[in-house]
Amino acid sequence: MITRLARQLFIVCTALAVAGNAFADQVQVAVAANFTAPMKAIAAAFEEDTGHSVQASYGATGQFYAQISNGAPYEVFLSADDSTPAKLETQGQAVNGSRFTYAIGKLVLWSPKPGVVDDSGAVLEHGDFKHLAIANPKAAPYGLAATQTLEKLGLSNRLKGRIVEGQNITQALQFVSTGNAELGFVALSQVYKDGQITSGSAWVVPETMYQPISQDALILKKGADNPAAKALVDYLKGPKAAEIIKAYGYQL
């Protein structure tokens, strides 16, 4: 009797699992490189909670804009700024009313070595370094924020010959992490977790030094009829995602 009951329960559970998978969908997501770590954590929680799966690509916002404009199959776009999603919306490439700000980013000057960067960024003016890494300011909002900070400090011309540009903020971080640049401007989320810098030394650049980095997301036209696309956007607005986003130093 017990064996028969166990078998019946197994059949029912298997049927429910199959039914659940039948209603699960996959969503193709383009994600700004600075949001890589939190997005991976959010995607894992989202998949566990909803059954939907996330296929994410990470890169520079400007490059994603070009790809989307040329028909790339992305269904949701998490940008590193608010102007690019607004442009896509105006051009009719997004679902009307789906755009929202999912995070406000922060810029940080970082070195993997302790004691190199102080809490005022004085190393930029007085430090003995050969290379300063930034992201491409034409493609990555954090790169633009870096150039705005240097202009505000009056150091643009003086440091021009020392700047090395990464294709995106991930590559800028790699330049510093591998020692190809002694320090660099990166996203705070790349070197921050749970209230502290994870390694090295850093100066969190005051927000008055650059234009606010409001990061917007939206559902693209290709995701209009995909339940997983709407589910992901709703999840990004929820408490679990908010907790993860704040843990990486973003504001909401």
Binding site feature residues for molybdate = 61, 169
Considering just the CA atoms, what is the radius of gyration of the chain in Å? 21
The total of other beta-carbon atoms located within 10 Å of residue 151's CB is 13
User: Do residues 34 and 143 make contact, with C-beta atoms less than 8 angstroms apart?
Assistant: no
Residue 190: DSSP 8-state? G
User: Do residues 47 and 86 make contact, with C-beta atoms less than 8 angstroms apart?
Assistant: no
Residue 32: DSSP 8-state? E
Q: Per residue in 70-82, is it b (16+ CB within 10 Å) or e — as a string?
A: eebebbbbbbbbb
User: Do residues 33 and 170 make contact, with C-beta atoms less than 8 angstroms apart?
Assistant: yes
* Coil vs helix vs strand at 250: coil
Q: Detail the residues annotated as belonging to a binding site.
A: 61, 169
Cα dihedral sign, 105-108-110-115: negative
User: Do residues 209 and 26 make contact, with C-beta atoms less than 8 angstroms apart?
Assistant: no
Can you read off the two tokens belonging to residue 150?
């240097």
Cα dihedral sign, 171-202-189-196: positive
